[in-house]
Amino acid sequence: MGNPTGWKPSMEKDAKTTTAAHAEVGAGGATRGIVHEEPLLFERGSTGRSGVSLPAAGGDFDPARELPAALLRGGVEGMPEISELEVVRHFTRMSSWNHGIDTGFYPLGSCTMKYNPKSSEALARLPGFANVHPLAPAELAQGALELMYRLERALSEIAGFDQTTLAPAAGAQGELCGLMLIRAYHQAHGNPRKKVLIPDTAHGTNPASSALNGYEVVQLSSGADGRLHPETVKAAMDEDVAAIMITNPNTLGIFESHIAEIAEIVHAKGGLVYGDGANMNALLGVARPGDMGFDVMQYNLHKTFATPHGGGGPGSGPVGVKAELAPFLPLPAVVKEGERYRLVVDPKERPQTIGKLREFWGNFGMFVRAWALIREYGPEGVAQTGKLAVLNANYLRKLLQGAYNLPYETDSLHEVVFDDKLQKAHGVTTMDVAKRLIDHGFHPPTVYFPLVVSGALMIEPTETESKETLERFAAAMKAIAEEAQADPDAVKAAPTRPFRARLDETRAARKPILRWSPGMKVE
């Protein structure tokens, strides 16, 4: 690669030298630049300004005259009063304190931080999509309904299910939906049952969703190879177990190869198999959960199908089911009648439905983006996505092996989990490694999850990253591993480059300040 900006690209060529020798530039290209301090909106102190242009109301309707005085407020105290340019600068400056996928590599394991196509943004903003009201008569919303219908068909095909509900708002709500379906199914067979089996590698939302749905959680230990074993399931399985929740590949990035046998054991006792589909990226076009014994699974469209979720959301968590669970699906559903599409919203048409999970029909804006991506990829592109995601993870695994301890030697699919065992000998922890990566210009991997690995560094590169980016990231990781031996204090002092150094989280929790109020002081 050339060096058009004049920064020293020696870091990736000569990974043996530590960052200290090349403090100018991290392996991810990070260096220093100008960043601006910016107060809170509420601390600007101006009065009388506004950043909007509104029409005159017309007519003579004064609420102060027409409504009881007790109902009215004199204006919202504390609101900022600033002009449009000030607002623009405020948020532009703040954005520069962030690292996004558009800034650099973001290998946050389990979150599938792939590129979010710009085309999808343009498409979701077409007036016909952005401005269509959820209660518009069906004849004014045929395009929206057709898109939902097609997306439902595509998602059912990709994961191998008979039907899919698009309603759930995110992965965790998809889990809750799936568990409600399971409860309704058992209830219809006379007994809702009491327990849900969950392996120790599971994401926290699995037990939380089970508890929210009134089930007792029984945790299962995974084996030395990182997999759940049929004997373990057999020992825990009885007629009180409503379901087992399995993430496949699991959060170690390892395929649960015994899945078919486990499903048989659970089914034999009348239980159902729930799939946490957060890791669906690994399987796209290669294998389908519906063909492995799963009865129900949630997608995370914001992960697998690249819908943006800046700052923590929104998500979308469609749930695919086998035919035996379909009668219980939540409302609405989109049906095609001749050439017309229609929303089914009346429980009379679905007497066994679990009901409604959220207002209206789901996160439609996310449906447009996911559908656009599926259309652009086609069957080959979707399958290639899964394969390249797995290739990238395995390449990184290879590059990092030796520098970091690999707690499980078992094959990886789309992500790989290392730990800090080698660095701990020098007093350097996973958190320190993560913070030092920031100085190099990379977003750190997911840390301290899954819980079965002490000091986990969970790396998920996704398919949209190039070989060179992976190599630069590996160079940074190796440089940090060496620095941990040579100069552990330098690692522990990280990050030194961002706008803020390590923040005092204990203080935040002990004396919570969760909003601005006049005279706010943080010390």
Ligand X SMILES: Cc1ncc(COP(=O)(O)O)c(C=O)c1O
179-208 binders of other proteins (CB under 8 A): 180, 183, 203-205, 207-208
- Compute the distance between CA of residue 449 and CA of residue 25 in angstroms, rounded to an integer: 29
Single out the residue of 124, 170, 254, 388 in contact with ligand X (rule: CB under 6 A): 170
By CB under 8 A, residue 34 contacts other proteins: no
Q: Which does residue 379 touch among ligand X, other proteins, none (CB within 5 to 8 A, set by kind)?
A: other proteins
Q: Does 445 bind ligand X (CB under 6 A)?
A: no
Closer to other proteins by Cβ: residue 324 or 411: 411
300 is a contact residue toward ligand X (CB under 6 A): yes
Q: Does 103 bind other proteins (CB under 8 A)?
A: yes
282 binds ligand X (CB under 6 A): no
276 binds ligand X (CB under 6 A): yes
Query: CB of 171 within 8 A of CB of 207?
Result: no
Return the DSSP state at 377. Answer: H
Report cis status (omega within 30 of 0) of the bond before 332.
yes
How many chain residues touch ligand X (CB under 6 A)? 13
Q: Is 25 in the site for other proteins (CB under 8 A)?
A: no
Burial (CB count within 10 angstroms: exposed 0-12, middle 13-18, buried 19+), residue 505: exposed
Asked if residue 463 binds ligand X (CB under 6 A), the reply is no
Residue 278 Cβ, how far from ligand X at the closest point, in Å? 3
Q: What is the DSSP letter of 329?
A: P
Q: Does residue 460 belong to the site contacting ligand X (CB under 6 A)?
A: no
Coil, strand or helix: which one is 254?
coil
Based on CB atoms, which residue is closest to ligand X, 278 or 388?
278
Mapping DSSP onto H, E and C, the string for 443-499 reads CCCEECCCCCCCCCEEECCCCCCCHHHHHHHHHHHHHHHHHHHHCHHHHHCCCCCCC
> Which residue has the CB atom at the shortest distance from ligand X?
171
Q: Which is nearer to other proteins, 25 or 366 (CB)?
A: 366
Residue 304 DSSP SS3: helix
Nearest distance in Å: CB 351, ligand X: 29
Sort 231 into a burial class: Cβ within 10 Å, 0-12 / 13-18 / 19+: exposed
Q: Could you tell me how many residues make up the chain?
A: 523
Strand runs (DSSP E) across 146-240, as ranges? 163-165, 195-199, 216-220
Question: Can you tell me the distance from the alpha carbon of 274 to that of 81, in angstroms, rounded to the nearest whole number?
Answer: 51
| Minimum distance, C-beta of residue 188 to other proteins, in the bound complex (Å) | 14
Instruction: Verify binding: residue 70, other proteins, rule CB under 8 A.
Output: yes
Q: Interaction with other proteins in 446-505: which residues (CB under 8 A)?
A: 446-447, 449, 463-467, 495, 498-505
Query: Are residues 217 and 196 in contact, defined by beta-carbon separation less than 8 angstroms?
Result: yes
- Identity (one letter) of the amino acid at 333? A
Do residues 174 and 302 lie in contact, with contact meaning Cβ atoms separated by under 8 Å? Answer: no
With CB under 5 to 8 Å by kind, the binding choice for 356 among ligand X, other proteins, none is other proteins
> According to CB under 8 A, which one of 20, 88, 268, 486 is a site residue for other proteins?
88
Please pick, from the candidates 323, 349, 378, 486, the single residue that binds other proteins as defined by CB under 8 A. 378
Closest CA to 305 of 158, 122, 460: 158
Total chain residues near other proteins (CB under 8 A): 205
Q: What is the DSSP letter of 64?
A: H
Of the pair 27, 373, the CB lying nearest ligand X is at 373
- Using the contact rule CB under 8 A, the part of the chain among 17-25, 267-275, 300-308, 479-487 near other proteins is 300-308
C-alpha span between 59 and 70 (Å, rounded): 24
- Residue 375 Cβ, how far from ligand X at the closest point, in Å? 23
CB contact at 8 A, 289 and 277: yes
Nearer to other proteins, 75 or 190 (CB): 75
Near other proteins by CB under 8 A, which window of 14-22, 76-84, 234-242, 477-485?
76-84
- Report the DSSP beta bridge partners of residue 457: 418, 447
Residue 406 makes contact with other proteins by CB under 8 A: no
Interface residues toward ligand X, by CB under 6 A: 110, 170-172, 203, 205, 247, 251, 276, 278, 300, 315, 317
